[in-house]
Structure 1
């Protein structure tokens, strides 16, 4: 059990660093260096790199080493398309199961977001955007759906920061969150699902506009 825990910790640590942009695309990940940084032997690092290769985040070249592949634009597009449908399902289920405390927490997040957008605090905006969706993940009462959506959030961390970078998009995002909250509060499952679906599509469209 301890070995499994160690392997999992090493895997999650390297994976998170890749997704946070610590390493650039095609950068080599050296087993000895990673082992020293994490305070472990090369064996769990090697196993983690193999697992990361299965996820498509790392490419292992025989007799050369392991290199970061990163996430392509097509990967991001696919993730947002899938996430759009799943966020809709999440909002539908949240409308059915949400508690008064969770509704209050969503309201607080929106109020804080409105404050920070006026101040131009982009870092806080990104954090609050993630917090809003995490509350919905908790409220949907599906451990499986929460896990999948939380994973998608990690995969698009860097692009998601860009998506709330402009003030206009930040304000629009807050408006969309407000509409979602009102639909969920009213237990209007159809509207909640539709609004959540459209919200994620708008985020994706905004990313494409910034990259053009």
Structure 2
């Protein structure tokens, strides 16, 4: 198995640490401490923090440092609603325009998702899931839509990763993927749009579980229980 690049390894570890509540909203991240923690040089830490800033998970303030973004659940819900519309549109256009090679790629990523779901591997499922959606975006034939969907996807990646930890979510997500892929393969644009939109909106509908997971993250830093 190919070795994971240092910056990617640090990024994934930091992303998990924020999602798990180890680093709290508003907390400052010390690059020197991170270098020691991950046993690496300054460069991969800097690259990882820059990537997390682009995703919206951290904010780099000039001359002040890097801080975990303070999250608003309502703002997160609004972003998911917009993402649902973008994904629905991309799936609708893909159903009309997708080429055979992309259909093969879609089937391949769906198979990967199934393997990782069966193994209960949420991390590998997360990446296969991202590749599945990338095929849909890339095959929609609308470059502007693809760019906008990818930009919002980067912002929501940590939270879409989090929702895979909701009990039974991977299995249900796989079923939703299969529904999207079947509609695209059949050229049913309306069904593809509905399935893709619902696939994202279900994450909003299940916000009660996501909020429960995030509850300890939205409390003030330094709170004494």
- Report the TM-score when normalising by structure 2: 0.67
Q: Name the SS of the counterpart of 1:68 in structure 2.
A: strand
Q: Distance in 1 between matches of 2:103 and 2:202?
A: 23
Q: Distance in 2 between matches of 1:153 and 1:139?
A: 16
1:169 paired residue number: 169
Structure 1 69/112 Cα, relative in aligned 2: closer, same or farther at 3 Å?
closer
Superposed, which structure 2 residues align to 1:120-131 within 5 Å?
A: 120-131=120-131
Deviation at 1:116, TM superposition (A): 1.6
Deviates more, 1:144-153 or 1:68-77: 68-77
Deviation at 1:60, TM superposition (A): 5.2
2:67 paired residue number: 68
Deviation at 1:202, TM superposition (A): 0.8
Please report the RMSD computed on the Cα atoms of aligned residues, expressed in angstroms.
Answer: 3.3
1:155 paired residue number: 155
Q: Which of the two has higher C-alpha Rg? A: 1
Question: Deviation string for 1:49-107 (max 9, x for gaps)?
Answer: xxx7xx8964859xx83553614222211110101111111101111111111111111
Unpaired segments of 5 or more residues in structure 2? 1-7, 34-40, 45-49, 213-225
Deviation at 1:206, TM superposition (A): 2.9
1:94 paired residue number: 94
1:181 paired residue number: 181
Q: Name the SS of the counterpart of 1:156 in structure 2.
A: helix
Cα contact 1:90–1:193 (8 A) shared by 2: yes
2:223 paired residue number: none
Q: Distance in 2 between matches of 1:121 and 1:138?
A: 26
Number of matched pairs = 183
Q: Distance in 1 between matches of 2:16 and 2:117?
A: 25
2:116 paired residue number: 116
Q: Name the SS of the counterpart of 2:168 in structure 1.
A: helix
Unpaired segments of 5 or more residues in structure 1? 1-12, 40-47
Give the structure, 1 or 2, with the largest relative contact order (CA under 8 Å, sep 6 or more).
2
- Report the TM-score when normalising by structure 1: 0.71
Q: Name the SS of the counterpart of 1:140 in structure 2.
A: coil
Q: Name the SS of the counterpart of 2:187 in structure 1.
A: coil
Q: Distance in 2 between matches of 1:30 and 1:117?
A: 35
Moved over 6 A (4+): 29-33
1:77 paired residue number: 77
